[in-house]
Structure 1
Amino acid sequence: MPTLKIAIQGCCHGELNKIYSTLPSQTELLLIGGDFQSIRTPTDLSTLNVPNKYKKLGDFPDYYHGKKLAPVLTIFIGGNHECSSYLQELKYGGWVAPNIYYLGEFGSVWYKGIQICGWSGIFNYSTFMKNDLYVEKVPYDNWSIRSVYHQKLNNFVKMYMMNHDLDVVLSHDWPIGIEVYGNKAGLLKRKPFFREDIEKGELGSPLNKFLLHYLRPRFWYSAHLHTKFEAIVEYKQENDSGKKGDVKNKEAIELDMDEPETTTKNAAEISLDMDDELPISKNRDELSLDMDDEGPSTSENEIPLDIDQSQAKQFEQTLHVSPIRPPQQTSKRLSTTTTTTQFLALDKCGRARHHITSREIEIVHTDHPSYKNPGKLYYSKRSIAINKTVENYLSSHSMNFKSINTRKIIQDPYNLVLVNELLPLVNLELNKLNKLPEEDFIIPENFQKVDNIDKNKEVRYYPNNQTQEYCDRFQIPFPGVFTP
């Protein structure tokens, strides 16, 4: 079976030159698990949530302005230390620089027969509970500079409706409970301060825990906690309901490493020594680790659907059903042959840290056009259908959406009956997309940098041509949340 050699990087923190210089030979694709920091100019630094002493341009401006070219196709998701204004301009994904592609708040693409899916940001209990569809705008205040990277229910709905034959899923924070499928003792030896959060079931994201066991990708890659950790999740055969298939624990070898460790009281969000900032709220959803390799860390309290006319009446009836009622039927998983997920989390870029590694991934989708056209990146048709369905629903049924009981969703995502109501509409859109030529799904290399961006001294929103072209091409609502 043919293979694709990929490299996986943990937190980037703007250190692109170091990362590219350490790429294993023959690497065909680089995946970065967040904290990319696509800072274009000094003005962008005001949208990066780190203390002032850590604000630096990093290596990205050279790639943005064309002084350097990424030596290998690079795909990344956002974390909790990002140039949030730039990433908001690319809500649905796009090129942040030539050969460097951002998956978006939620996104999925194909490359050489491998399907990659992911979502950006981190879980924050308070923000997720609000579910007010608030969209942050620049300039950010002391709260919105954080909430802008907190994962929202709308993107969880999108991830929930992805297909079950995914090759790779990217998330910044870990799935809760993943430690039991790997060398937990080795993890606690390196990070003893994780013990309390593990015992409380708070090390990671409950949303990612659900998605891991529901989507069952072949590979799941994360970053965020600044340590390397491997695990293998084995799945038993589906039960009749298709709900919550059991898993077995399988020990995975974990490499010990001698590195300066930090202490913390909370491991739900990694931040960069937030002592310099004002406390935000009573919330244990965010954790703080110092960016430097040495020194103690501190804990911080942060924490119109385009459907056929014949479907219109049925659509209206479906969408007006109360979204907070108990589910009448749980969402059955689509068929999949995946029996295991290989999980890998990596450290941040730095000296003596396990921050990058490579894998040979077997290509099982040799019938996908991207395999036959290896130089091109392809949109996932399903992700397009999901974006169109969810965004149109939000624009016309926002009150219904905001009334969803997010507490029940966190307790058990199978309570999210809205998924059952939207899936038929996703499939309807998918059927339409399947009738289009395959060439229509090649992602255009249409990166354009902002003219005279270096001369602007105040942070602002720049309408991005890629977002506009994507929305026009697939009739998806444009993120009409900013005043240019």
Structure 2
Amino acid sequence: MGRSEGGWYFAAVGDVHGQMHAMVRLLEGWSAKTGKPLAFVLQVGDFEPHRHDADLATMDAPAKYKQLGDFPAYHRRHARFPWPVYFIGGNHEPYGFLDAQAPRGFEVTPGCHYLGRVGQVELRGLRVAGLSGIHREAAFRTARPSLKDSKDVPHKAFAYFNEEDVDRALALQDVDVLLLHDWPSGLIAAEDAGAFEHQRRSVSHDTVGNEYARMLVESLQPRLVLCGHMHRAYRAAIPHSSGQVSDVACLASVRQGPECFGVFHVSTDGITEVTHLR
């Protein structure tokens, strides 16, 4: 599956927010149009794998956005993903479910894998790592609350990564693809700055992203970085003093249509995106 003469293909998807059926339709549509099968799909957080209302209750989000979504159909085996899916956590996940099961990752339903707070997996020779959550400086140097105390603390407290998570991620080795929910800081080119003024989660382009995500990219020097969170598509590159360059693909949300995904070709020449900003 996913094999092609001269290499193979995988897809990356932005925030799904429980719209798994739409994600499947978009990617299957791309494969049908191009005749290229996908080996697997990587997802950059806010996947929202809610099995039932009890999971939904553990997610941090305004009430109007708390919707069960499509995942119950996959959990009950009424639907299946056409390819293996690997996802990290965003800031809108049922962490009461994910952390209680296995904070270091597990298979949430057949063919669908949570990489954990920090995780790494090798897929067809490609080493994929991920850091779940978003940054909040006030929470960075403290331990996350125990799930036993979850009724007494805001759900938001479980949506942040902390210093221990980043230290674990920094210890990873030979990372080819890095999954982040939030963007690395300093990503936006000067000529694009105006497009990020007073937009969603960005008072200005200087406030987009966080320094710890940037530090991970600079330390691990992956060939490809994948991000979500901002609900907009953007492409950039981060050069390193070693001469290595990390290509960065920021992805829109599934509700926004085809800009939510990118497809990448893997060959002996490296990893190359075959989709482009639309």
Give the 4+ runs in structure 1 shifted more than 6 A: none
Displacement of 1:138: 5.2
Q: How does 1:97-116 map to 2 (within 5 A)?
A: 97-116=109-128
C-alpha distance in 1, partners of 2:254/2:204? 24
2:120 corresponds to which letter in structure 1? S
Change (3 A) 1:71 1:136: same
Structure 1: state its 5+ residue gaps. Answer: 238-337, 366-484
- Give yes or no for the alignment of 1:161 onto 2:147: no
- Give yes or no for the alignment of 1:185 onto 2:185: no
SS state at 1:178 partner: coil
The equivalent residue for 2:63 is 52
Displacement of 1:234: 2.2
Tell whether the 8 Å contact from 2:193 to 2:204 is kept in structure 1 after alignment: no
Change (3 A) 1:124 1:363: farther
The equivalent residue for 1:346 is 251
- Give yes or no for the alignment of 1:229 onto 2:234: yes
C-alpha distance in 1, partners of 2:210/2:151? 25
Deviation readout 1:296-321 (Å, 9 max, x if unpaired): xxxxxxxxxxxxxxxxxxxxxxxxxx
Aligned counterpart in structure 2 of residue 175 of structure 1, from 176, 180, 184: 184
Instruction: Indicate the percent of aligned positions where both proteins have the same amino acid.
Output: 25
Which TM-score applies when normalising by structure 2?
A: 0.86
Which TM-score applies when normalising by structure 1?
A: 0.50
Tell whether the 8 Å contact from 1:177 to 1:203 is kept in structure 2 after alignment: yes
Tell whether the 8 Å contact from 2:16 to 2:255 is kept in structure 1 after alignment: no
Aligned counterpart in structure 1 of residue 22 of structure 2, from 18, 23, 31: 18
Aligned counterpart in structure 1 of residue 48 of structure 2, from 12, 27, 37: 37
Q: How does 1:3-402 map to 2 (within 5 A)?
A: 3-23=7-27, 24-25=30-31, 26-88=37-99, 89-129=101-141, 131=142, 133-137=143-147, 140-141=150-151, 143-163=153-173, 165-180=174-189, 184-186=190-192, 188-189=194-195, 191-193=196-198, 196-199=203-206, 202-237=207-242, 339-352=244-257, 354-362=259-267
C-alpha distance in 2, partners of 1:96/1:168? 22
Larger Rg, first or second structure (1 or 2): 1
Q: How many residues align structurally?
A: 256
The equivalent residue for 1:423 is none
Tell whether the 8 Å contact from 2:251 to 2:259 is kept in structure 1 after alignment: yes
Tell whether the 8 Å contact from 2:89 to 2:133 is kept in structure 1 after alignment: yes
Deviation readout 1:368-405 (Å, 9 max, x if unpaired): xxxxxxxxxxxxxxxxxxxxxxxxxxxxxxxxxxxxxx
Tell whether the 8 Å contact from 1:85 to 1:138 is kept in structure 2 after alignment: no
Answer 1 or 2: which has greater strand percent.
2
Change (3 A) 1:352 1:104: closer
Change (3 A) 1:2 1:92: farther
Change (3 A) 1:126 1:361: same
Deviates more, 1:25-34 or 1:228-237: 228-237
The equivalent residue for 2:273 is none
1:198 corresponds to which letter in structure 2? H
The equivalent residue for 1:480 is none
